[in-house]
């Protein structure tokens, strides 16, 4: 039995749609999590960051106006502060993120997720 696959997906994002198409072309029907509507909890986001091997700031969309409005470029902010900001404003989370078992990949570019298959 294969491990379940989940994707943190934004249907308005072309990379997210391309990643979903890439999975479908390989016969994988992931659980789709529309993270803007159902954001991860702080604990879930920590687990995702661990699986990706990333620090919180690496997973943030720095070009979003909310990033500037919340002064998230402040280097004095802790990882916990950044995680809380992403949970409160999920638009700040880079996408798409594909999870399979204990592994994760960021679909930028979409081919990155092939490492999970």
Task: Respond yes or no: is residue 13 known to be catalytic.
Answer: yes
User: Average pLDDT for residues 13-30, to the nearest whole number?
Assistant: 96
**pLDDT of 55-106, one tens digit each?**
999 999 999 999 999 999 999 999 999 999 999 999 999 999 999 999 999 9
CATH number of the structural domain spanning residue 21: 3.40.30.10
Count of domains observed in the chain: 1
Domain range spanning residue 21?
Answer: 5-116
Q: Is the pTM of this model over 0.75?
A: yes
Distance CA 36, CA 91 (A): 6
Structure confidence at residue 3 (pLDDT): 83
The residue from 13, 36, 52, 117 that is catalytic is 13
Q: Which residues pair with 115 in a beta bridge?
A: none
Structure confidence at residue 117 (pLDDT): 86
Say how far residue 53 (Cα) sits from the centre of its chain.
12
Distance CA 9, CA 2 (A): 21
């Amino acid at each position: 039995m294969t491990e379940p696959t989940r994707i943190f997906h934004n249907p308005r994002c072309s990379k997210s749609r391309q990643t979903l198409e890439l999975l479908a072309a390989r016969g994988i029907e992931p659980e789709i999590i529309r993270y803007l509507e159902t954001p991860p909890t702080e604990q879930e986001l920590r687990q995702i960051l661990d699986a990706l091997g990333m620090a919180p700031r690496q997973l943030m969309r720095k070009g979003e106006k909310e990033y500037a409005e919340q002064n998230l470029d402040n280097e004095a902010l802790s990882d916990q502060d950044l995680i809380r900001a992403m949970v409160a404003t999920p638009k700040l989370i880079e996408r798409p993120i594909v999870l399979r078992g204990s592994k994760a990949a960021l679909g930028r570019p979409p081919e990155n997720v092939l490492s999970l298959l």
